[in-house]
């Protein structure tokens, strides 16, 4: 194959998996999109220097990783519980636009039929808990862990991608794994590769029914006692079933509709809000659920109005 002549078409084949790789590195969908564009631009400019000693895929990953390592020198992506203790503010607080919030990844873009390596998008390696945990790693350790433990690359392949020696790669991995375990939720030290299960979908259906019926007791029965509720870009967050219900139940009353979906391979609900005096429910947020042992352990509500990005309807009319 003449890589120079067919470069653009060949490189474009890897856009999707490069986007996922950059998202893991950066914790931001928007930044990942920019990083992929920069990767392909750098590759295009340097296409004549590609000598074929590695695969085109490996060469692109190396460029993408260097782009991300340059980028992750910015403050790490966070969720509210990393900024301040749980609280229940007496008055509404404004969103914080100065914080580099973790962003969700639309599942509509995680189509396995387009992914050359299906292991690259296993649920446990793109869910929010994993994304937050690897944010605690220095840039090269983060890259090493992704290449070795997520993509399954050899130490030698990883060394070439991150500009380290093989011994340095092995050392970085040994340092990264304990940090990852330390920052993962306690029940997720052992992962299983699966998409949202039927039981999880049924749990979310019961959640919607409890909401529609304005039934706080039914809602409480679906939650762990130490459930966590966050709503970036708002900095405050709620810990425990009592405060979670206290924050949710004032919203009962027919102003909301929910559409089941998935985000970051996790079960989710698209939340549609009908404004006072309005007649149409419009997309307000996507609520991403972490479910442990049959109950809700965490809800992360991301504000969004971009229904097309998530493959969702833009609005609902009253039934």
CATH of the domain at 4: 1.10.1740.10
Residue 309 has pLDDT above 80, yes or no: yes
145 within a domain of the structure (yes/no): no
> b or e along 32-41 (b: 16 or more beta carbons within 10 Å of the residue's beta carbon)?
beebbebbbe
- The CATH number that applies at residue 247 is 3.10.450.50
Name the strand (E) or helix (H) holding 230: strand 223-231
Query: Which of 62-76, 101-115, 137-151, 238-252 has the least mean pLDDT?
Result: 101-115
3 within a domain of the structure (yes/no): yes
Residue 317 has pLDDT above 80, yes or no: no
Residue 229 has pLDDT above 90, yes or no: yes
The average pLDDT across 194-210 equals 90
The pLDDT of residue 197 is 86
127 within a domain of the structure (yes/no): no
Domain boundary among 74, 93, 123: 74
By the 8 A CB rule, do 121 and 265 touch? yes
278 within a domain of the structure (yes/no): yes
Tokens standing for residue 283: 């997309």
Q: Which domain holds residue 12?
A: 1-74
Domain boundary among 74, 108, 138: 74
96 within a domain of the structure (yes/no): no
81 within a domain of the structure (yes/no): no
Domain boundary among 21, 52, 74: 74
Give the torsion sign (CA, 58, 62, 68, 69). Answer: positive
What's the total number of domains in the chain? 2
Give the three-state DSSP class for 99.
coil
Instruction: Specify the DSSP class assigned to residue 125.
Output: G
The average pLDDT across 268-288 equals 92
- Ramachandran sector of residue 100 (left: φ over 0; alpha: ψ -120 to 50; beta: rest): beta
Name the strand (E) or helix (H) holding 262: strand 256-263
Length of the chain: 319
180 within a domain of the structure (yes/no): no
């Amino acid at each position: 194959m003449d890589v120079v002549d067919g470069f653009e078409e060949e490189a474009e084949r890897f856009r999707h998996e490069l986007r996922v790789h950059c998202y893991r590195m950066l914790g931001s969908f928007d930044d990942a999109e920019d990083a992929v564009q920069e990767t392909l631009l750098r590759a295009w400019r340097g296409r004549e220097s590609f000598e074929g000693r590695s695969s085109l895929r490996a060469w692109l990953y190396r460029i993408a990783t260097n782009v991300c390592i340059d980028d992750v020198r910015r403050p790490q992506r966070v969720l509210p519980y990393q900024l301040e203790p749980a609280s229940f503010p007496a008055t509404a607080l404004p969103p914080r636009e100065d914080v580099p919030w973790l962003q969700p990844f639309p599942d509509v873009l995680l189509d396995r039929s387009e992914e050359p390596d299906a292991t690259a998008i296993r649920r446990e390696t793109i869910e929010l808990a994993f994304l937050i945990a690897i944010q605690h790693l220095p840039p090269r350790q983060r890259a090493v862990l992704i290449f070795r433990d997520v993509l399954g690359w050899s130490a030698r392949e990883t060394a070439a991608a991150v500009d380290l020696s093989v011994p340095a790669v092995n050392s970085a991995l040994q340092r990264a794994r304990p940090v990852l375990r330390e920052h993962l939720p306690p029940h997720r030290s052992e992962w299983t590769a699966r998409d949202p299960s039927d039981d999880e979908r049924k749990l979310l259906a019961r959640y919607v029914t409890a909401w529609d019926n304005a039934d706080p007791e039914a809602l409480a029965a679906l939650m762990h006692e130490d459930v966590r509720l966050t709503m970036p870009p708002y900095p405050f967050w709620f810990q425990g079933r009592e405060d979670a219900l206290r924050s949710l139940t004032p919203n009962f009353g027919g102003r909301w509709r929910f559409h089941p979906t998935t985000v970051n391979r996790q079960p989710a609900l698209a939340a549609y809000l009908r404004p006072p005096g309005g007649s149409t429910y419009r997309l307000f947020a996507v609520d991403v659920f972490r479910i442990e042992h049959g109950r809700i352990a965490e809800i992360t509500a991301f504000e969004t109005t971009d229904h097309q990005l998530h493959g969702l309807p833009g609005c609902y009319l009253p039934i």
